């Protein structure tokens, strides 16, 4: 049985690994380089930490509350972005409308990613949400193309920005 000093030292090393992990560095080899531990030790420490986290009811409750809060925050951001899109549409500010629509798509994707990583969205639910998001994006693309169809300057700007977002060349036809 390890002594209290050995146990404290082990938890100090686990905390060092977890600190790097929680900053977004999820690669065990990279964490090993940064902490000076062996890769196998890093994996062992992370597994031990996960085991403790999963068995602690209070931590699980706090995590669920944080996740629910984050989900609510994303939903609020999406609603606010739709308000911006509606206002931009009323004042005919196409660039703001385009930016708002892109923001909505980005925030929705981040919300879905967060829920999937938390294990709250099953693969079939995730596929349905992805299809729904893609459907909405196609509708938004069609709206944008129709709105700028009669303005060559706007058309060039919108299609250029759409190309940046989609990663493919967007045509100038409606």
pLDDT of residue 49: 84
Residue from 97, 66, 67 nearest 81 by CA: 97
Q: Going residue by residue through the chain (174 aa), what tens digit of pLDDT does each one get?
A: 778 888 888 889 988 998 888 877 788 899 999 999 999 999 999 888 888 877 777 777 777 787 788 888 888 999 999 999 899 889 988 889 898 899 999 998 888 887 777 666 665 565 677 778 888 888 887 887 788 888 888 878 887 777 776 666 666 554
pLDDT of residue 172: 56
pLDDT of residue 32: 93
Residue ranges and CATH numbers for the domains of the chain are 4-55 (1.10.10), 68-166 (no CATH)
pLDDT of residue 174: 44
Kindly state the greatest CA–CA separation across the chain. 78
pLDDT of residue 137: 80
pLDDT of residue 22: 81
If one counts every other C-beta atom within 10 angstroms of the C-beta of residue 81, the result is: 20
Both tokens of 103, joined, read 């923001």
φ/ψ (deg, to 5) at 76? -65, -45
pLDDT of residue 145: 79
Q: Which residues contact 50 (CB under 8 A, 6 or more apart)?
A: none
């Amino acid at each position: 049985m390890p002594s209290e000093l050995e146990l404290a030292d082990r938890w100090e090393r686990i905390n060092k690994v977890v600190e790097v992990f929680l900053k977004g560095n999820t690669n065990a080899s990279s964490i090993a380089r940064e902490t000076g531990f062996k890769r196998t030790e890093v994996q062992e420490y992370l597994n031990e930490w996960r085991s403790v986290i999963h068995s602690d009811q209070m931590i699980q409750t706090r995590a669920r509350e944080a996740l629910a809060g984050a989900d609510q925050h994303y939903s609020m951001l999406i609603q606010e972005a739709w308000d911006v899109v509606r206002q931009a549409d009323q004042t005919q500010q196409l660039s703001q409308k385009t930016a708002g629509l892109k923001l909505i798509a980005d925030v929705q994707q981040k919300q879905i990613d967060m829920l999937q990583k938390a294990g709250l969205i099953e693969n079939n639910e995730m596929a349905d949400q992805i299809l729904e998001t893609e459907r909405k994006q196609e509708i938004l693309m069609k709206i944008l193309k129709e709105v700028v169809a009669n303005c060559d300057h706007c058309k060039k700007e919108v299609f250029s920005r759409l190309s940046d977002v989609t990663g493919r060349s967007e045509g100038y036809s409606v």
